Structure 1
């Protein structure tokens, strides 16, 4: 893919996304009017967890505790019960409670808006930090998850080995105007069309632009 074609590709992705289901964290962001704390907690729940499970677990938890102060009052067993069956729910309950405590004691209960500060929170990596900046604060950041990494490499827009390197390259080359929405769009597109194995190239509107890197089987 020629990098100059990114504007055409993004326009097509936006059009396709209109008929797709939004990612769970995007839904939480809209439902809470961009509450950074609830976005952060939803991001933590979402790690290696199906989207529908993330959404339901987040809503159950927030119906009981939707602030750091309320969350630290819960026993970990109660948090576990509320977010189950999210994967690693026991570990996540500890992480969520610990982060809530740190936010109260060190950040005046305010989720940091800077990536460098967010990654200081134990359990928060760059993907989560970038997503909190985007969905919690509505500010440009490049959130690279497995879908973003796979699709941009498959297109031939970047040639990278891991998500961190993909983020670096996208920060260099992806127009800043696309940073905020690119993750939510590609998460949806990666689930429905550009799947990890045997993508639906026959119904993909990007096919004329795509280099189809490492695509052995397609539908």
Structure 2
């Protein structure tokens, strides 16, 4: 028998699927390796900015070997607009070397193997496995998923790995890949960090609005 939270999670998914039928990964890519690189670049950077950078980056570097051969400083310059470019360049080059040396140039398709790549934690692994291969290995937790799932009362945790565990228990595995996209689309359009648009939200009647009233109170205080 489904718990109250599981039933509510099902209803949330149903409504958001109706609201955002085009919800999908916002990072532009044509293959699994490009998605891996784009996801590494997306840390502390908007998807829009990453897409601008990768439009030229993926024409210049077409394979893991191309990134291995790239000069560190040149790659850093190419990805500089995404921020933290030195660490990201090292991660991309390190992951590329591991892919070539240990996986014959192919992106691994298990969580365990993905986590052996430089710069890859569960979020990045889930993004690639889910969106490139259709493998539901877990639930992607980014800043939007964290915020919206907390407001919806689906988790009380603040650590991504614990939030993912909570969501995995509530969401049917068949929805693990689409669920974060739905929350991300909703978080960007309606359930925004500073000014959530609760009055026009399709989840208004089933959302406990955890933490939202605090934001509204702070806004009112600032107006005074």
State the TM-score, normalizing by the size of structure 1.
0.89
Instruction: Give the direction of change, closer, same or farther, for the CA distance of 1:19–1:117 in structure 2 (3 Å limit).
Output: closer
Q: Which residue in 1 is equivalent to 2:107?
A: 111
4+ residue segments displaced more than 6 Å: none
Alpha-carbon separation, structure 1, partners of 2:53 and 2:35: 13
Residue correspondences, number = 212
Q: Following TM superposition, by how much is the alpha carbon of 1:42 offset from its aligned partner in structure 2, in angstroms?
A: 0.5
Q: Provide, for residues 134-168 of structure 1, a one-character-per-residue CA deviation record: whole Å limited to 9, x for no partner.
A: 11211113111121122112111222231110111
| 1:60 Cα deviation after fit | 1.4
The reply to whether residue 24 of structure 1 matches residue 20 of structure 2 is no
In structure 2, the residue matched to 1:197 is: 194
Q: Which runs of 5+ in 1 are unaligned?
A: none
**Aligned equivalent of 2:222:** none
Query: Which secondary structure state, in structure 2, belongs to the residue aligned with residue 153 of structure 1?
Result: helix
Aligned to 1:101, which of 97, 100, 105? 97
Which of 208, 211, 214 in structure 2 is aligned with 1:214? 211
Gaps of 5+ in 2: 220-224
In structure 2, do the counterparts of structure 1 residues 148 and 106 end up closer, same or farther at CA, with 3 Å as the change threshold? Answer: same
Contact 2:35-2:132 within 8 A present in 1 as well: yes
Q: Residues 28-87 of structure 1, C-alpha deviation per residue, up to 9 Å, x if partnerless?
A: 2xxx1xx21111101001110012111111221111112111221211222223223001
1:3 is matched with 6
CA distance in 2, matches of 1:23, 1:81: 26
User: Counterparts of 1:43-192 in structure 2 under 5 Å?
Assistant: 43-140=39-136, 141-192=138-189
8 Å contact kept, 2:61–2:67: yes
Aligned to 1:42: 38
* Residues 157-213 of structure 1: CA deviation (Å, up to 9, x unaligned): 222231110111112221112111112221121112111222111111101110101
Q: TM-score, normalised by structure 2?
A: 0.87
Confirm or deny: 8 A CA contact 1:45 1:58 kept in the other structure. no
| Larger RCO, structure (CA 8 Å, separation 6 or more) | 1
CA distance in 1, matches of 2:75, 2:99: 17
Are the aligned partners of 2:123 and 2:140 in contact in 1 as well (CA < 8 Å)?
yes
Q: Distance in 2 between matches of 1:128 and 1:120?
A: 12
Q: Secondary structure of 1:217's partner? A: helix
Higher-Rg structure is: 2
